[in-house]
Structure 1
Amino acid sequence: MSIDGDPGSRVSGRTVSGVLTLVVGMAALTIVLGGVHAVSGLIGPVFLALVLTVTVHPIRRRLEKTRLPEWAVSLTMLLSAYLLIVLMTLALIVSVAQLAALLPKYTADITSTIEETLTGLEQLGVDQAQIDKVVQALDPSQLVGLVGSLLAGALGALTDVFFLFTVLLFMAFDTNGARENLRILGSRFGDLVEALAHFARGTRTYMAVAAIFGLIVAVIDGAALYAIGVPGAFVWAVLAFVTNFIPNIGFVIGLVPPAVIALLEDGPGLMLAVIAIYCVVNFVIQSIIQPRIVGESVGLSPTLTFLSLVFWAWLLGPVGALLAVPLSLLMKALLVEADPRLSWALPLISGHPSPRDDGDDEPRG
C-alpha cells in the first residue's frame, strides 16, 4: 500500500530535504571561504582599492560641477588616492625602520626582565620544562628577528602597492560608467542599488571619521610620548593612527608596544604614565566620541563588529582587520539590505530598534 499520501511522510521528506540543503549550503560556503582565504593576497588590495575609490568619490562630484573634462576629473580622483597610499606607505616604512633600530638597544633590558620573570616562576614552583619554553618564546634575538621580518614585510608590501595602483587606475576611470549603469539598473533592481549606495555612504563616513580621529589621536599621542621621554614617539604615533581603523581592540594593540618600551626605559612609573595618556586620549576619542559621530551610518552592533573583525582578520589577514567594518557593510548590503524580505534583521544587526517600530507601543487615536 502506498504511503505517498501520508502527511507524516511528506513532513519527514521536507525535513530531510531541508537538512540536506543546509548541509550542502554549509559545504559550499566552506569551499568558498577556503578559496577566498587562498587568494586573500588579491582580494585584499582589490577591496582596498574599492574603499579608496568610494572614499575619494566626493572629489569627483565637486569637480564635475566645474568645466573640467571627464578625463581630468578621473585623473584628479586617481592622484588623490595615490597620494593617500604613498603617504601611508612611507609612514609605515619609516616607523618600522625606526622600530627595527630601536629594539636592539633594549636587548639587555629585555634579557634582564626575562631573568627576573623566570626567577619569580621558579619561586612559584613552575616546572623547569615550562620555564624553558618561556625562555625560547621570549628570546631577544627572536624579537629582533620579528622586527626585521616586519620591516621586510613592509618593504615587500610595495609590490601590493603597485598592484593597488593598477586596480585604482581602472576603477577611477570606470567610476562614471559604473555610476550610469547603476542608474539604469535602479529601475529593475532598486533595492540592490539602494543597498550599494548605503554601503558607499557608510564606508565613506566610517573611513573619513576614522582617518580624522586617527590623525588627532596620533598627533596627541606622539606629542605626549615625546614630552615624557618615551623613545620612538613617531613610531607609536603612526601605530595609533593605523590601529584606529581596527574596531574594538585597536586601542589595546596601539597601547601595548609603547607601554612595554616605557617599562624598559624607565620602569613602571613611565609605563603607567603611558597607560594613563592612552586611556584618557585614545579611549575617550575612539570609544566615546568617534562612535557617536559615526552613528547610524555603520549600523553594526558592537558585538557584531568585534566578531566581524575576528572573521575578516582570519579570512584576509591584516588588511581584513583594517577593513573589517567596510567589508561587513558590503556583506550587509548584498545579503540583507538588497532583499526587502530580510529587513526585519536590520535592527538585530545594528543593535538599535527600527525607526518604523518606534511608535508601535504608543496608543493610537
Structure 2
Amino acid sequence: MRSWRAIMIGVIAFAAAFWLLRETRSITMPLVTALLLALAVWPMVGAISRNMPRSLKWLGPLAGLLVVLLLLLAFMVALGVAANQVYGLVGDMGPRLSGWLAGFGLSSPEGGEQGGIASIAFGSGSAMSTAMTALGLTARTLGGIVLILFLMLLMLTEVESWHRKFIAVSADSSDRTMRETGRSVGQKFRTYFNTRVLLGAITAALYVGWLALFGVDYLLLWGLLAVLLNFIPTVGSIVAGLLPVAYAFVSKDPGTAAMIAAGLLVIEQIMGNLIDPLILGRRIAVSPLVVLVSLGFWTILWGIPGAILAVPLTVLVILAMAHFDALKPAALLLTDRSSFEELEEFRRSS
C-alpha cells in the first residue's frame, strides 16, 4: 500500500513539474540554457578570475561571454548561409518539379514552370506575410538570446558570492555535492557540444563528397544542414539525410537517387551506430531509448531549443538524481549502466 502511494505521489509530482515547466517555458528555458552555458565556460572564467586582482575579476565573466558570443555568431552565420541556400533551392524547385511531374504525366500547380513552387511560395501576397512572420520570429529569437546571455553573465559574475552563501547555509557535504554536480555537468556539456560539432563536420564532409560524385547541387546547404541538425539526436541526422535524397529524386533519375540514398544510409549507419557511441558512449551514458523519449519530452516542453538541449538536460537530471540515495534507482534506469557502481563511476567521471 505504501509503495503504491509513493508511486502515485511520484506520478502527480512528475505531472505537476511537466505542467509547470511548460507553462513557464518563457522563463525556465532561457534560465536553464544560461545555466548550461555558464557551467560550460566556468573553468575558463574561474581560471582567469583567480589570476586577476579584485578590481579586474570582471574580465573572467567577460571572457566567458565573448566565447559564447563567438560561438553564437558562427552558428547564426551558418543559419544565414543555409537560409540563403534554401531560398535559392525553393526558387529552383519549381521548374525541376514541373519536369519531374511531367515525366509521370502530371501537371504542376498553376500550370507551367512559371507558376510552380517558386511562385506559390514567393508570390507577392505570401511574400509579405512570410517577411512579417520571419521578422517577428527574428525579433523573438534575438530577445531570447539577449536574455540568455544576460542571465549567463549574471551567473558568472555572482557564482563566487553564491558559493559562499551555500557554504554558510548548508552542510559541507551539500556544498560539495552541488560543486561536483556543476563540474560534472559542465564537463559533459562541453564534451557533448565539441563532439557534436566534430561528428557533424565529419558527416557533412562525407555527405558532400558522396553527393558531389553524382553532381548534386547545393552542396554547401546539405553540408550545413548535416552539421546543424546533428545537434538534434537521432531525428536530426535522419532529416539531414532525407532532404538531399528528396532533392535528388526530383533533379536526378530514380536510379541515381537510389544510389545516393544508399550511400548516405551507409554513412549515417557508420557515424551514428559506430563512431558516435565509441566517442560519446562512456561520457554521456544515456540509454538510446531514453534519448528518444527525452527528445520527445523536451521538444514538447520547449520546442526546437528543447530538442537541441534534450541530451544535456537529461544528463543534468541523471547527475542530480545520482547524488541522492533515494533517487539513484531512477538515475540508473535512465543510463546505459547496469549497476550502481558503474553509475557512481559515471557520476564522478569528468
Q: Which bracket does the TM-score occupy, shorter chain normalised?
A: 0.7 to 0.9
Q: CA RMSD in A?
A: 3.5
Write out aligned runs for 1:15-164 (5 A): 19=5, 26-27=11-12, 29-64=14-49, 66-67=51-52, 69-111=56-98, 113=100, 140=117, 144=121, 148=130, 155-156=138-139, 157-164=141-148
Alignment partner of 1:257: what SS? helix
Gaps of 5+ in 1: 1-10, 120-138, 359-365
State the partner residue of 1:320.
306
Q: 1:210 aligned to 2:187?
A: no
1:304 pairs with 2:281: no
TM-score, with normalisation over the residues of structure 1?
0.74
Contact 1:194 1:338 in 2 (8 A): no
Supply the distance in 2 between the matched residues of 1:277 and 1:53 (Cα, whole angstroms): 40
How far apart in 2 are the matches of 1:272 and 1:252? Answer: 16
Distance 1:35 1:74, change over 3 A: same
Which amino acid in the other structure matches residue 52 of structure 1? L
Q: Deviations over 1:240-265 (max 9, x none)?
A: 11221122222101111111112222
Matched, 1:348 2:325: no
**Do 1:64 and 1:73's aligned partners in 2 also have CA atoms closer than 8 Å?**
yes
TM-score, L = length of structure 2: 0.77
* 1:93–1:151 CA contact under 8 A, matched in 2: no
Deviates more, 1:37-46 or 1:236-245: 37-46
Report the Cα distance in structure 2 between the residues aligned to 1:29 and 1:205, rounded to whole angstroms.
Answer: 29
In 2: Cα distance, 1:38 partner to 1:117 partner = 49
Higher CA-based Rg: 1
Q: Which residue of 2 is the match for residue 5 of structure 1? A: none
Question: Deviations 1:200-255 (Å, cap 9, x if unpaired)?
Answer: 33222212211222233234434554564322222222211122112222210111
* Alignment CA distance shift 1:117-1:70 (3 Å): farther
Which of 171, 174, 194 is matched with 2:155 structurally? 171
Distance in 1, Cα, partners of 2:80 & 2:255: 30
How far off is 1:154 after superposition? 6.2
Structure showing greater relative contact order (alpha-carbon pairs closer than 8 Å, 6 or more residues apart): 1
Amino acid at match of 2:148: L
Taking every aligned residue pair, what percent have the same amino acid on both sides? 22
Deviations 1:155-214 (A, max 9, x none): 342232222332232233234444555666561414454334332332222122112222
Equivalent residue pairs, number: 323
